[in-house]
Chains A and B, each alone.
Chain A
């Protein structure tokens, strides 16, 4: 028993560092999720819009960001954007990359939900005189919710895990960087530190999953 406590000393001794890193990762995830959902919905709206140029922009967006490795997208943001004169802290470059990448997946989840609503609903909305945006916002998306929440949830959980790669690009101060700080720089044992890092991610993903379940039941009951 005492041995086990000793074993995790690298974590317990640095619990403040872990806590700070956890908050940074949580922050990345919150910004990332919000941005990805908004952007993904916007791109999905483009894809189902009646305007062919917007449809093409939407499908090109998805093709590019869904098929590019996240690491490459992140490198473009972190090292490419400064090349063309855009400067910001790595933190924001990381979030931008994460959002660009995740938005493609969020878009496809939202779009499949939109397609699950019968075409007659949107036609009736347009026939009444609602604009495309109004019919999407008041008639189609509310009905798409039920089918959208589960796949969108998976997209966000995947994004939370991907946020570790953002750390690897050099955001610094997040959960993933804790590994570098404690193991590479200070030579602490690998396994207990990694277990601590993993626990930090689980602390976000598991409650996230539970929240998702609650939300799923909510939208399933709501008509």
Chain B
């Protein structure tokens, strides 16, 4: 990789309001290729908005966002093409309820990448095998456990061969015993060198897989440090306070 390679994600001077609420304040953030960044912060601090701004599910009011050197296009085909390269995993899984697990994973490759059905099915089965749910391929999302649904959702995102993966609290809606099966898949991805932006309060994941931890509060990035540094010696009072709360239980 040369010094001129653009970062995978670059946000510069990004601002966003919901009405009079200023949810993103002058956000500057770069995520390099192969880097895993964990975003932390109290509820309402703007983590989801930041994550959704990166593939323009949430349009911003000011500043620039680039993915792999390309500024986010306005609504239209170019934006759809960019989104295809950015995998996204939601807290609520959002699997297509009327399609089977295999069809969920195949839909993007067939409709967006114009891949043949059979090839897409084979690729889907390989991915489902990787996340450990081949036996669920023919079922509908509602028939799966939360952990299985989230793993299917990860497979659906991976099927597009994304350049970067965004995770918005992927384990927050899961029963405790299912959290680790999802985190395992994510750690595996990180080890393979996937560029990832992960909103999570799972300290274990941050310690094991993250290169950086970004701490947000009231729409601002307050700290940006290596996990070890952040967890042991947070600089700001807000981070200390936050860590005190989440480490208390």
Docked Cα-Cα span, A134 to B76, in Å, equals 12
Most buried by A among B92, B94, B95: B94
Docked Cα-Cα span, A56 to B14, in Å, equals 29
Q: Is the CB of B97 within 8 A of A128?
A: no
Cβ–Cβ < 8 Å partners of B157 in chain A: 127-128
A-B contact count (CB 8 A): 70
Cβ-based interface call for B90 (8 A): yes
Instruction: Give the contacting residue for B92; candidates A50, A120, A129; CB below 8 A.
Output: A120
Most buried by B among A129, A139, A142: A129
Q: Is the CB of A143 within 8 A of B97?
A: yes
Cβ–Cβ < 8 Å partners of A128 in chain B: 83-84, 107-108, 112, 156-157, 160
Cβ-based interface call for B29 (8 A): no
Q: Is the CB of B97 within 8 A of A127?
A: no
Cβ-based interface call for A84 (8 A): no
Cβ-based interface call for A66 (8 A): no
Using an 8 Å CB-CB cutoff, how does the interface string of A187-223 with B read, 1 for contact, 0 for none? 0000000000000000000000000000000000011
Chain A, range 123-151, C-beta contacts under 8 Å to B: 123-132, 134, 138-139, 142-143
Cβ–Cβ < 8 Å partners of A126 in chain B: 57, 80, 83
Q: Is the CB of B90 within 8 A of A123?
A: yes
Residues of chain B at the chain A interface (Cβ within 8 Å): 55, 57, 75, 77, 80-81, 83-88, 90, 92, 94-98, 107-108, 111-112, 140, 153, 156-157, 160
**Could you name 21 residue pairs across A and B whose Cβ atoms are closer than 8 Å?**
A50-B75, A51-B75, A123-B94, A124-B153, A126-B57, A127-B57, A127-B83, A127-B87, A128-B83, A128-B108, A129-B83, A129-B112, A129-B160, A130-B80, A130-B107, A130-B112, A131-B77, A131-B80, A139-B98, A142-B98, A143-B98
